[in-house]
Structure 1
Amino acid sequence: MIAADDLRFFLEVSRTGKLVAAARGLGVDHTTVGRRITQLEKASGARLFVRAPGGWELTEAGERLAIHAEAVESSLLAAAEELGSTPGRLSGTLRIAAPDGFGAFVLSPGLGNLRARYPDLKLEIVTATRLNLLASKEFDVGISLARPTIRGVVSFELAEYPLGLYASAQYLQRHGPISNVDELHEHSVIGYVDSLLDIPALRFLDTALPGVRPAIQTNNVTGQWMAAVAGLGVAVLPSYIAAPDSRLVHILKESVAIRRKYWLAVPRELQRLARIRAAHQELKELVLAHPYLEATSSTGY
């Protein structure tokens, strides 16, 4: 007979890939984790993990068990949430992980309705521009620029958004108008730090402006926006950041039109929780109401 508590150890190892990291998360020593995994393998009659160079990886049997283990965990979490909350009210903490642009310019100023509806719900917004932002699964709801491929995460398209080339009016006054893409070779272009950029969707310059190398590089879009506003050069910026800013001018509208997509991700074991469903609904409404975001046809689970 499989013990439900052993599944907790199993899931932590499957998510961290290491006994020591799992032990730290569970608040026990690594020998205890190892013993519980051995106990579970005996009870299930199957080997659940193999040692690999990168850590402990699930076997085929382990992958099958993980689906059921997450369902058990999801039921327990939903029960605890329901019993621990006042009927009709949501409490606890909701952590949303998002790219820095979406987090700072869309999410942070757009959560007023969620706060008004659920004042007891504490919100955490974690932002970064890196491919592995969601890899640790230390989030309740995640937004990403590429469809997540990590195990145990349910994902759907959330929104599409346009980007364009922007420069300040002062910059264009000093350096003259820009009438075609080739002229950008004579201008200061602002972009991401290439060596730190691991998200293919953000490699705008490689596709839209081939051969143009940035003179100023930052590792986040907020820095690029501020550099463009300060008159330091031309930047590729999301319309939801640049279009409302009267200090910036949209240039080469016809010849440089870029579109990208955001994905919504939820750990499978959390998708039944009321606070996750509330956040999901709020994000969909936020996208529908936003003038520079376009809802996609697949935004629900």
Structure 2
Amino acid sequence: MIRSAEDLRIFLAVARTGRLGRAAALLGLDHTTVGRRISTLERDVGRRLFDRATDGWHLTPDGERLLAPAETVDAALSAAHESLGVREHSLTGTVRILTTDGFGAFLMPDVLRSLTQRHAGLVVELVTETQHVSSSTRDFDVAITLEEPTSTRLIHRRLTDYTLRLYATPDYLAGHPPIRRIEDLRGHTMIWYVDRLLDVASLRLLHEIRPAAANIQSTNLVAHWQAAAAGAGVALLPCYVAEQDTRLRAVVPGFDVRRTYWISSPSEHARLARVRACVGLIDAHVRRSGLLLRGENAVQ
């Protein structure tokens, strides 16, 4: 039998961090206290919830089954505490944001600055991955993705559209055959994602441009940008990345690719004040960046 919600809060901290020391720091407790409470919880429920290993504490199948109910209880308690007395200027706790690498590197910094300036007690964890959102919602409070989420546990909506174009440096263009149309790219060095590791359907578009695989492949958009800026080849980049870099020039005039960012939150987290504050600042920054996202205010 689970004796208290506090036991579930400690269980969640260990599950999320995988380490007693990190969980203790997050909770403001001594690590021996955390270990003792986990052992007591396991004895009370009659199940082993964690496998203790040298590389951390890992959930057992029974621990996995307890995770969703524990998160629901934790979110309900947080919402109750916030509704009873936490004002916006005194938000505390942790918000984990999952974003694509491009959005995280180029659009989130202003949001992070605003969050920490307004809420000094808030811890913001930014996880950048270009992938599907897992049906498990324990890994984030807010997600910004390239594909519309399908999980019924997520509240989601369209965040913004954005434009991609082909870019290269003037030096690269001067030293290679002219690019006047898409077909001319066949003789050029292309920079894109690693084909065999790309599981996001909306990014499987290089073969629409030319049949051959990219010559330079990376799982990271920042690497695409830097390789193109170094003169290594032609990259398909978001306008909000490339059009602020004076080293790059757009090629194939009129060739635009439009894609969409989606924003989502687990339904049990969406009502939390700290999550609402985060989403509100993301919305505000996206609105301010609308022209840049659409490629309508090139600085070159």
Output the TM-score relative to the length of structure 2: 0.73
- The 5 Å alignment of 1:257-296 reads 257-290=256-289, 291-293=291-293
User: 1:234 & 1:107 partners in 2: Cα distance?
Assistant: 26
CA separation of 1:225 and 1:133: change in aligned 2, threshold 3 A: farther
Deviation digits for residues 189-218 of structure 1 (CA, Å, limit 9, x no counterpart): 1111101101111112023x0413211101
8 Å Cα contact 2:166-2:252 kept in structure 1: yes
8 Å Cα contact 2:164-2:239 kept in structure 1: yes
Amino acid at match of 1:243: E
8 Å Cα contact 1:96-1:141 kept in structure 2: yes
TM-aligned CA deviation for residue 71 of structure 1: 6.3
Amino acid at match of 2:114: N
Q: Partner of 2:253 in structure 1?
A: 253
CA separation of 1:129 and 1:27: change in aligned 2, threshold 3 A: farther
- Corresponding pairs, count: 260
TM-aligned CA deviation for residue 70 of structure 1: 7.1
Q: Partner of 1:131 in structure 2?
A: 132
User: 1:94 & 1:268 partners in 2: Cα distance?
Assistant: 15
8 Å Cα contact 1:164-1:258 kept in structure 2: yes
User: 2:216 & 2:86 partners in 1: Cα distance?
Assistant: 50
Of 110-119 and 99-108, the range deviating more from structure 2: 110-119
Deviation digits for residues 71-111 of structure 1 (CA, Å, limit 9, x no counterpart): 65533121234568567421222211101000001112443
TM-aligned CA deviation for residue 31 of structure 1: 7.1
User: 1:239 & 1:170 partners in 2: Cα distance?
Assistant: 20
- The 5 Å alignment of 1:1-301 reads 27=38, 73-81=74-82, 85=86, 88-132=89-133, 135=136, 137-207=138-208, 209-254=209-254, 256-290=255-289, 291-293=291-293
TM-aligned CA deviation for residue 149 of structure 1: 2.2
User: 1:206 & 1:135 partners in 2: Cα distance?
Assistant: 32
User: 2:285 & 2:231 partners in 1: Cα distance?
Assistant: 31
- Secondary structure (helix, strand or coil) at the match of 2:268 reads helix
8 Å Cα contact 1:134-1:142 kept in structure 2: no
8 Å Cα contact 2:172-2:231 kept in structure 1: yes
Determine what percentage of the aligned residue pairs are the same residue. Answer: 37
Amino acid at match of 1:271: A
Q: Partner of 2:31 in structure 1?
A: none
8 Å Cα contact 1:103-1:127 kept in structure 2: yes
TM-aligned CA deviation for residue 121 of structure 1: 1.8
CA separation of 1:30 and 1:273: change in aligned 2, threshold 3 A: closer
8 Å Cα contact 1:97-1:133 kept in structure 2: no
RMSD: 3.8
Gaps of at least 5 residues in structure 1 are: 17-23, 37-54, 57-65, 295-301
Gaps of at least 5 residues in structure 2 are: 17-34, 48-60, 63-67, 295-300
Q: Partner of 1:50 in structure 2?
A: none
Output the TM-score relative to the length of structure 1: 0.72
Amino acid at match of 1:120: G
Q: Partner of 2:21 in structure 1?
A: none
- Secondary structure (helix, strand or coil) at the match of 1:119 reads coil
Amino acid at match of 1:162: T
TM-aligned CA deviation for residue 292 of structure 1: 2.2
8 Å Cα contact 2:165-2:256 kept in structure 1: yes
Deviation digits for residues 279-300 of structure 1 (CA, Å, limit 9, x no counterpart): 1111110110003236xxxxxx
